[in-house]
Structure 1
Amino acid sequence: MSLVVAITFQLMLLMVDGLASNYTKNCKLGPGTAERDALNLLEPLTNKNYSAVHQMGGDTYTYYFQVCGDANGTPGAGLVQVDAQQKKVVIGYYNTTQAISGSDWVMLTYGLGEKYDKHCSQEHRRALIMISCDRNVAASELKVVVENRDRSESCFYLFELDSSAVCPVVPSKLSAGSVLLIIAVCCLAVYLIGGFLYMRLVVGAKGVEQFPHYAFWSEIGNLSADGCDFVCRSRGNRQEPPTYTGVATEPLGEEPEERDDHLLPM
């Protein structure tokens, strides 16, 4: 009974967690399902800040990134730049998100950030985050690749992040028979271990009686042994078949011919 309650509790936790994990829906995407499918891959990375320190010239900047969340607590900002004087500059907002994916990567774009002061024709800043597959880590540290602002337009900040969340699913090599065998072995193990603990701790059984349903299984063992004995072994003593004996040439039980001579007429 306790095992059933524990399994039910775990299922309820999974259901609640699945209902609560909808952070990627905070991102505003364009029409179509391809971008939404790409963004859904990043659900395990949500609700967490990723940071990176980058030096440019004599200045040091710290960048904060969050998937469809408020980076560094800045409302609506998906990626924020903070300088040494703690001045914040929003690089991109997640209400203008673009997401494209490949076989083992997802490119996330946050647009409509704060405008440049002098560079890039004072256009809005834009952040590109390349999230690549790495099965060894749930999420690596954020890396600053480049700040491309030496052009008149289409400037951007490029970041990198490795995660196992975007890795393709490895197809299972187990056959249906193997899966059924594994399930059967697991059920048998649960039955034996759970029954043993119940008989020992609750019933107080000792010795072989700790085995669950010992009387039932011992009876099956005896019946199996009797059946094997009946099929494979002979019962009773074997009698030799009678040997063949030849018929005597003279009729049995007849007197010699000379004893019948007195019956003949004289």
Structure 2
Amino acid sequence: MTAGTVIMSLVAVTFQLLLLVGGGRAVDTTTNCKLTSEIQKERDALKLLEPLTNKMFSVVEKTADDKTYTYDFQVCGDVGGMKGAGLVQKDGTKTVIIGSYNSTQAIHGSDWVMLIYGDGEKYDKHCSGENRRAIVMISCDRNTAASDLQVVLENRERDKDCFYLFELDTSAVCPALPSKLSVGSILILTAVCCFAAYLIGGFLYMRLVVGAKGVEQFPHYAFWSEIGNLSADGCDFVCRSRGNRREPHTHTAVATEAPEEEPEERDDHLLPM
């Protein structure tokens, strides 16, 4: 097995893992919404709602005259299989399209998105017979992924510009929190990540390319096995001043007793008799 083959295999495995982890998030479902005016700011506001796509939100409302309505809402998706229907109202067996995602507006604030679906079915007796319109106020709530849909009001007591108003809380539109990591923490995390990449990459290289076994699979094993001795030598070199050390002077022991006097040599025999 050559080094090039090993590298290509690792790249392929990594790509497959990324696909599995991503879970299809690469597809932007909000592109299904057709804006009334293709403005980049509105398209960016829609992208914030990507975590809410492919989910159905429903709410049941009971009016003062004992009528019960069920509202179903979906972000840039067909409600109940009805093409283009973004928000519908159900009254028993009757279903009315309140708003279509084929006529969308999206307004983005600091921590909210106002989603407007227009081109709903026409009113029968109200609002001069104009098309219905649904407004969903989506606000920031960091404690929930998506709350239940709530009905605020239906404003139809006017000649035109009538609308249904709903609200929904989600963490998807919350602004990013500023990082609380210090420069030192970031450097430490970077160093740890680099060291982990070094260990994993070196282990794979030694095992798959070099064919090492056992502890020899550890990258630069000979160096790391001597790291303790090298550290001790370095500490000894830095902390101990061998060159300036002087040997203590040696002194010859001095005898405390007086030397024994040799007996005086007798020379009487040399005198003439």
Residue of structure 2 in register with 1:228 after alignment: 235
Q: Which letter maps to 1:94?
A: Y
Q: Say if 2:132 is the partner of 1:135.
A: no
Q: Say if 2:84 is the partner of 1:76.
A: yes
Residue of structure 1 in register with 2:42 after alignment: 35
Q: Say if 2:172 is the partner of 1:165.
A: yes
Task: Report the CA distance between 1:121 and its aligned residue.
Answer: 2.1
Equivalents in 2 of 1:95, 1:69: separation in Å?
Answer: 10
Which of 61, 66, 72 is the aligned partner of 2:69? Answer: 61
Equivalents in 1 of 2:248, 2:99: separation in Å?
Answer: 103
Equivalents in 2 of 1:135, 1:31: separation in Å?
Answer: 30
CA contact (8 A) 1:29 1:35 kept: no
How do 1:120-131 residues align onto structure 2 when only pairs under 5 Å count? 120-131=127-138
TM-score by length of 2: 0.73
CA contact (8 A) 1:100 1:106 kept: yes
Please give the root-mean-square deviation of Cα atoms over the aligned residues, in Å: 3.3
Residue of structure 1 in register with 2:126 after alignment: 119
The size of the alignment, in residue pairs, is 236
Structure 1 consecutive aligned stretches of length 4 or more whose deviation exceeds 6 Å: 1-5, 190-196, 209-212
Residue of structure 2 in register with 1:94 after alignment: 101
Task: Report the CA distance between 1:158 and its aligned residue.
Answer: 0.5
Q: Which letter maps to 2:18?
A: L
Between the aligned residues of both structures, percent identity stands at: 63
CA contact (8 A) 1:24 1:43 kept: no
Q: Which letter maps to 2:45?
A: A
CA contact (8 A) 2:33 2:103 kept: no
Equivalents in 2 of 1:104, 1:239: separation in Å?
Answer: 77
Equivalents in 2 of 1:32, 1:192: separation in Å?
Answer: 48
User: 1:231/1:34 Cα in 2 relative to 1: closer, same or farther (>3 Å)?
Assistant: closer
Deviates more, 1:29-38 or 1:19-28: 19-28
User: 1:37/1:192 Cα in 2 relative to 1: closer, same or farther (>3 Å)?
Assistant: closer
Q: Which letter maps to 1:20?
A: V
Task: Report the CA distance between 1:36 and its aligned residue.
Answer: 1.4
Residue of structure 1 in register with 2:256 after alignment: none
Q: Say if 2:18 is the partner of 1:11.
A: yes
TM-score by length of 1: 0.74
Task: Report the CA distance between 1:174 and its aligned residue.
Answer: 2.5
Structure 1: gaps spanning 5 or more residues? 244-266
Equivalents in 2 of 1:183, 1:6: separation in Å?
Answer: 24
Task: Report the CA distance between 1:223 and its aligned residue.
Answer: 2.3
Structure 2: gaps spanning 5 or more residues? 1-5, 252-273
Which of 170, 189, 192 is the aligned partner of 1:182? Answer: 189
Residue of structure 1 in register with 2:258 after alignment: none
Q: Which letter maps to 1:69?
A: G
Residue of structure 2 in register with 1:108 after alignment: 115
